[in-house]
Amino acid sequence: SDVGVLIALRAAQGLAGAPLVPLALSILLGGAGARGGTIPVSAALVLFLAPALGPSLGGLLLAGGDWEWIFLVNVPVGVLGVAALVRVPRGVGSPPDPGARFDPAAFAVLAVGLVLALFGAFEATASGWGSVDAAGSLVAGLLLLVVYVLWAPRRAHPPVDLAMVRTRPAALGLGLQVVCSVVAFGTVFLMPVFTESVQGHTAVQTGVALLPQGVLMGVGTWAGQRLAARVPLRTLVTGGFVGLAGASLLLLTLDLSTPLWVVATILSGRALAVGLVTTPLLVALLAPLAEHQLADGNTLFSIVQRVGGSVGVSVLAAVVAGATTPAVAVDRFHVAGGVLVALAALAAVGSLFLREVGPTRRL
């Protein structure tokens, strides 16, 4: 069927595209990289600007054409990527390890666990947490991931080496990144529902209103990269989470008559704070790693960010789902906003336990 073909092609697209982010980051972070206390702006933008801009640009694209156009966008992007790749000098990034071996058993546990966990999270968003498929898939996926965490250290060549997060500072940094992903991207997915389904705005109006937050997240990411080398890590991340909690408090003021420019302003303030947090946390994870560990570090960062963010967004979606009237929907969005405030405040407290990292500092 057409749906079956679409799913198969999307799966092939995912298999081809998934390795590109950690490989690209390994190229961008090669040499001194994050171990010097900073990461290139380009690396930070790859991780955070594109996901923030995606929903806005996708909404504008859908408003101006057919849904198939979403897939056509990948053609020029792919061509530009190949053209840029041929200009990358040889020897950039981590060199290959001739002694590395593929571990099919560990790979299967990790891959199936990730697929089930993400499927369960997305299914919960669509069908609710009462769905047997959603809850069962999510629980089974998380259990497999726990098995991998316990089993991988015993493998000679695990697909993703977890040795780098056996220390408390690295584990804390990953945990804070999960919270940041939930707080940051929760509104990226929920606010279009609020502005369109509750307030009655069009997709074009919503896309224009949400576009500034993507741009300002890029600005915040750039600022975070610059400040990471000058401001103590603990101070920068804690301040970012405090700012994120304060900006998220303004979500509790939204109602049916709130102008879109006010919504855009609130989201833009949150986006700036997110940018100040994400880059330093990436530095905190990658700074202690040797160059040959960067690929594993990048991959682990991406996995934690996406799985944690997906599960968190599903929980928030469950909070706002099922409203029978606009007034009830507003109340539920306020509850979701309160959850975001609480998470950001909790992360600010956790950030106080971060250790400094930089050219003269170590985790």
Which tokens go with 18?
A: 């998934």
23, 122: one domain: no
pLDDT, residue 73, reads: 74
C-alpha to C-alpha distance for 307 and 141, rounded to whole angstroms: 10
Beta carbons within 10 angstroms of residue 148's beta carbon: 23
Question: In angstroms, rounded to a whole number, what is the distance separating the alpha carbons of residues 336 and 2?
Answer: 37
| CATH value at residue 212 | 1.20.1250.20
Asked, for residue 342, whether it belongs to a domain, the answer is yes
Within this chain, do residues 309 and 193 fall inside the same structural domain, yes or no?
A: yes
- CB distance 284 to 357 below 8 Å: yes
Q: What is the structure's pLDDT at 363?
A: 34
CB burial string 196-235: b at 16+ within 10 A, e below: eebbebebebbbbbbbbbbebbbebbbbbbebbeeebbbe
| Cα→Cα distances 301→32, 221, 229, 326, Å | 19, 16, 20, 38
**Domain range for 130:** 101-156
19 and 139, same domain (yes or no): no
What are the angstrom distances between the C-alpha of 12 and each of 5, 16, 18?
Answer: 11, 6, 10
In a domain, 358, yes or no: no
CA 262, 44, 176 angle in degrees (round to 5)? 75
Q: Tens place of pLDDT for every residue, the chain, 363 residues? A: 577 787 788 778 877 777 776 677 666 665 544 444 455 555 555 555 666 666 666 666 666 666 677 777 778 878 887 887 777 777 666 666 777 788 899 889 998 998 888 888 777 766 666 777 778 888 898 899 899 988 888 888 888 888 777 777 777 888 888 888 888 777 777 888 888 888 888 877 887 887 787 777 777 777 777 777 778 888 888 998 999 999 889 989 989 989 989 988 988 888 888 878 877 787 777 766 666 677 777 778 778 777 777 777 777 877 787 777 888 889 988 998 899 999 999 999 999 988 765 443 333
Mark 278-297 as b/e (b = at least 16 C-beta within 10 Å): bbbbbbbbbbbbebebbbbb
- Same domain membership, residue 140 and residue 6: no
- In a domain, residue 161? The reply is no
Q: Quote the number of domains for the chain.
A: 2
Q: Tell me: do 212 and 264 sit in the same domain.
A: yes
- 21, 88: one domain: yes
Helices 233-249, 203-228: axis angle to 10 degrees equals: 160
Residue 76 counted as domain residue: yes
Q: Which residue blocks in 194-259 are alpha helix, DSSP H? A: 203-228, 233-249
The per-residue pLDDT for 29 is 60
